[in-house]
Chains A and B, each alone.
Chain A
């Protein structure tokens, strides 16, 4: 078995507020194997984007990383100096941002935006080699060479997202974090962009952490999935197991949520509202909305435990596997 490329250990990211710290990410532990596609799902406000940014140490005030470790190939990104993390970003861990529309510079040509990052990391690379690399990247994300000279406004949303993808893979990183890369696109374009992302991932052997809320997209794309609720992981497992036999009551509700083309009828929502993170409920954060709550749930916080090999769940309904 290959060693994990990315290990997140007990990561905590808080936001400073006038009423005390808000625990947006509260002790998340997860790991990615080389070449693996891992999905992270949750409702808005569950802390998934905060977690994604913290992995690259891009957390901005009032947010701060309270503690924990992010080990990328053994290097703790939380501890290294600002200079060192600059060298790691893009070269080893890259981000595909949520809004491709607003993350490109509107007054810079596509080619310059792609070259920009490479130049910063490989200062000695000659201009002709840069140009060549840029064209290779465009071809990899299935963009036409003539698009190099265009400006972002001349491209459609899907194409802009491809440009962001080209930038993310420009230095062949080990891990790509894709934060809802297609949430602004319609289904046809979404499928095309995701297929390209999959092809690129396979050809480079890079690990992908896909962050999103679309359970359908997750089922189509990832191999393993983690369900985030109120800053904590509720369940982790292979995507097939989690979908076929979800353990945590929240996961079950989440999977039942999206309307399908098969049955028409009652809409299923999750009763109640996501908890206020400033003043979270006692015990299990999900217990006020949980259909299977017991007296224990409001008292004791369930820890994430391995109920059988590879399946982790944070719920009092399950007991840890005996080893």
Chain B
């Protein structure tokens, strides 16, 4: 079984500040994940603002290099790909960004984002063939080519623009699409359509998806498995049904309990976790990162950082509450721990 895209024990530290007041921010700490070639899946990556979700996406895309660890594409280190391999990587790993407004150049027609990849990767022999390819890609996600092509970005709605980005990503017949908060800036009614498009790409064209979001409900709707990040560490990972329906890490439990349910009879429970956590006091350099907010804190939590415990077949939790379970290595994520199918 070959692995398409893999992050192996990746750590990313950003340093900022001047010569004397150097400040280091650990954005990601020892994170591993792998996307297998067989059985295309949808993996949700959730976490709050600043948990390292976008850093992970940028590392996997090769936009930034990890401080420690490696990002591998088909077994080859991203840093050492040859020219041809790099081109293949750029075609086969596509991305959809959060903001459907910023990705377009307002002076170009929207066709530009579709014709450029066709030309760059020599997808078509002639202009008419290229045009056909683009129209196919648009129709596949339910857009009318005559209503979208030839227009400027400001003439289209946010939802349409984001769907063109989905079409652009699928145009290249990629193996993997990284979607970084693809629906957080579009309306609830259009959100559904875009998520449906993404699911179709996965099921019909066998494209694996990494769905990065802070919205647990949509992650639950489309993902097969899930990775929960907290301050740069994986706190819980595994099969989506297990993690959402029966969350084990106190942070995941808090996340699930905080979703506002659209039912006036089902009120939010009283908050058992401390409301106020200043950024500085929450970030501890020893022990579990969540200990400052955790209602189940034990003496050991403040001393040693917990490893990942494999609590059931398809799930691992970074929490000492489950210390009786067997410890698994971080880089086993996605290999031993993952969806059933």
Contacts and interface: CB of A to CB of B under 8 A. Distances in A.
A220 B268 contact: yes
Interface string A175-198: 000000000011111111001100
B262 A187 contact: no
Given A144-B276, A188-B254, A214-B260, 5 more contacts: A157-B49, A216-B260, A253-B189, A255-B262, A261-B217
Given A195-B271, A267-B221, A219 B260 contact: yes
A195 B268 contact: yes
Contact of A257 (B188, B263, B266, B275): B188
A217 B195 CA distance: 21
B188 A260 contact: no
Interface string B177-201: 0000000000111111101100000
Given A189-B48, A195-B271, A219-B263, A144 B193 contact: no
A142 interface: yes
Given A219-B260, A220-B267, A220-B268, A257 B192 contact: yes
Given A189-B48, A192-B271, A220-B268, A259 B262 contact: no
Interface residues of B, number: 41
Interface in A131-148: 142-144, 147
B256 interface: yes
Interface string B252-268: 00111011111111111
B265 A240 contact: yes
Contacts of B187: 43-44, 213
A143 to B, nearest CB: 7
A213 B188 CA distance: 8
16 contacts: A156-B278, A156-B279, A185-B49, A187-B215, A187-B259, A189-B48, A190-B258, A213-B188, A219-B264, A220-B260, A240-B264, A257-B189, A258-B217, A258-B262, A259-B192, A269-B193
A264 B220 CA distance: 8
Given A214-B260, A267-B221, A192 B196 contact: no
Nearest to B281: A144
Interface of A: 43-44, 142-144, 147, 156-157, 159, 185-192, 195-196, 213-220, 239-240, 243-244, 253-255, 257-261, 264, 266-270, 273
A206 to B, nearest CB: 21
Given A43-B189, A188-B254, A243 B262 contact: yes
Contacts of B279: 156
B240 to A, nearest CB: 9
Given A156-B279, A192-B275, A264-B221, A219 B192 contact: no
Contacts of B221: 259, 264, 267
A162 B169 CA distance: 40
Contacts of A243: 262-264
B276 A259 contact: no
Contacts of A219: 260-264, 266
Contacts of A258: 188, 217, 262
B218 interface: yes
Interface string B217-247: 1101100000000000000000000001100
A270 B217 CA distance: 18
Interface string B88-129: 000000000000000000000000000000000000000000
Interface in B263-303: 263-268, 271, 275-276, 278-279
Nearest to B219: A259
Contacts of B255: 187-188
Contacts of A266: 196
Contacts of A191: 258, 260, 268, 271
B216 interface: yes
B311 to A, nearest CB: 20
A219 B263 CA distance: 6
Contact of B262 (A157, A192, A240, A260): A260
Given A156-B279, A191-B271, A192-B275, A273 B262 contact: no
Contacts of B275: 142, 192, 195-196
Contacts of B266: 219
A147 B278 CA distance: 10
A186 B263 contact: no
A140 B307 CA distance: 39
B254 A220 contact: no
A258 B221 CA distance: 11
B188 to A, nearest CB: 5
A243 B260 CA distance: 14
B38 interface: no
A186 B279 CA distance: 15
B262 A261 contact: no
Contacts of B262: 215-216, 218-219, 243, 255, 258, 260
A166 to B, nearest CB: 14
Contact of A261 (B193, B256, B265): B256
B157 interface: yes
Contacts of A260: 217, 261-262
